[in-house]
Structure 1
């Protein structure tokens, strides 16, 4: 069994640590920029080693995989250090802030012979594999359009990283990464046309946006994102014979397929929402063993290409880019 180290002790790291406990996985070590927080984290989850620095954790030869749960503005540097130390990486989303960062990390990982994967739930939930199988079987005919929304109302605070430009805050990378990954999952190829408009926060980060995409097959995407207005997490995949509806799509275990000719509704279920992070861990370990073939890397790369293209059109840059 692989040995894991965790970098960062925020909300998602706590959720992952609870998942490890549920799976019977031991967490070998943890590091955090605030050592006191790491100590509390270790006490809570029975972590064996608390490292004072990230460098100290990377130097420990007993660790095989680093789970990177820091803010996404730090992922690029964190991953480069881990890859250079010969560690495999499971990194939270958004995996980087632009495609150039991602390509550099993946090229370095290939040189070092380590696996780097994004902890994107949509790429690992069993439901999506089943839905793609139903599409191949002709359940909705030829795919025509994907509509996907994500809106959260976090309560505006310019000091929080969600809204701070210097922390790569804004709707696009914080929540748009989910919507984009959902859309790309159901497209037969990358979009080659992207149209978009944006409204900015007072901090200069993006508050909300509308995005329309199309590929050479004529498949289209309509996407709406906002940080200060709640929307249902709803994804719809429409074909010429029917449509798929998925609610709470980031960790969905249930969807419906409606036949537009007959009105018949099929319910498709697979996996469990509460096991979302467990699927990520299992896939990561299988990938390291060479026992996994999935489209996670394709979705990760294309999602970051799309997000980078959108941000470039806006002319928005983070201060550290």
Structure 2
């Protein structure tokens, strides 16, 4: 089987982690593209990458490239996704994969026509601990899931030019951290939530700085989410079942969970995978998808989460310039 050749679009923090993750998988990046050419050159030297493009868009024309990892800001994703798909490249796209459901549906329709794989780099869908917890829940030992409670809060200084608060860079809590909480919820719920309520506090730029979300699906499973970009919270998820509950800290890249028996109070710590290998799991699953096992990317969950985020922002009247 021919080795899959990866290109990376962007040279930020995630791109660096991606390069290190490929190395863990015994591979290396084939090429790098960036708006600022000098940054691409420096990135290539750091990770011994052979090919740097003079023009960022040349990556899409390169016949040697099999898959492009798009790590640029949210609001640029759809432009690069369409270019890559039209040139027959598979794509792994940083979360949030697009700004809204319309953009995602457009990309997926095009991907079907061109027969390429699209995946979102959502750690929760690939970390071994989540696969193990789903196996435990599916076994029925904890009973039905009734409630999921999520927290995610970071303290970001009030620099309104920073991407977290910058409306022109699709800033805001929902697309940056809410996507993790909603992906966690969708992973464990029996079906997509159909009823939603929310409250939001906006930053001076108009993006969502803080939000409280309530969700329920047709099976009666409920979830609550508290998000903030200006107040520190633990990255904590709790799954409440009929016969016990599961607590997970650092849930975006979790490696362990504590299960408490509701009757006895006895706790058990479950461990699977490593926090440091989060991107390595994603990249390995993406290669499996390219080789035919597309189910491992859980694209149906990505679509459901994007629909939820789009619906919440519609409730708030929050649009980005590209959506006006």
Equivalent pairs counted in the alignment come to 321
Please, what is the CA RMSD of the aligned residues?
Answer: 1.0
Deviations for 1:262-315, whole angstroms, at most 9, x for unmatched residues? 112121111111111110111000001113533621221111011001001111
1:139 shift after superposition = 3.0
Secondary structure in 1 aligned to 2:30?
A: strand
Secondary structure in 1 aligned to 2:141?
A: coil
Quote the Cα distance in structure 2 between the aligned partners of 1:19 and 1:53. Answer: 26
1:156 shift after superposition = 1.8
Cα 1:274–1:34 shift into 2, 3 Å: same
Are 2:117 and 2:294, in contact at CA under 8 Å, matched by a contact in 1? no
Q: Which residue of 2 aligns with 1:112?
A: 114
Q: Which residue of 2 aligns with 1:318?
A: 320
1:136 shift after superposition = 1.2
Q: Which residue of 2 aligns with 1:249?
A: 251
Deviations for 1:164-205, whole angstroms, at most 9, x for unmatched residues? 111110001011110110111111001111000100000011
Quote the Cα distance in structure 2 between the aligned partners of 1:307 and 1:180. Answer: 8
Q: Which residue of 2 aligns with 1:58?
A: 60
Which of 289, 292, 295 is 1:290 aligned to?
292
Deviations for 1:41-79, whole angstroms, at most 9, x for unmatched residues? 000001111112232111110000001010111111110
Which of 175, 197, 200 is 2:199 aligned to?
197
Quote the Cα distance in structure 2 between the aligned partners of 1:56 and 1:177. Answer: 31
Q: Which residue of 1 aligns with 2:13?
A: 11
Secondary structure in 2 aligned to 1:307?
A: helix
The range that moved more, 285-294 or 65-74, is 285-294
The range that moved more, 20-29 or 178-187, is 20-29
Quote the Cα distance in structure 1 between the aligned partners of 2:262 and 2:5. Answer: 50
Are 2:92 and 2:121, in contact at CA under 8 Å, matched by a contact in 1? yes
Are 1:139 and 1:257, in contact at CA under 8 Å, matched by a contact in 2? no
Secondary structure in 2 aligned to 1:33?
A: coil
Q: Runs of 5+ in structure 2 lacking a partner? A: none
Secondary structure in 1 aligned to 2:130?
A: helix
Q: Runs of 5+ in structure 1 lacking a partner? A: none
The range that moved more, 190-199 or 138-147, is 138-147
Quote the Cα distance in structure 1 between the aligned partners of 2:88 and 2:164. Answer: 31
Quote the Cα distance in structure 2 between the aligned partners of 1:32 and 1:297. Answer: 27
Q: Which residue of 2 aligns with 1:74?
A: 76
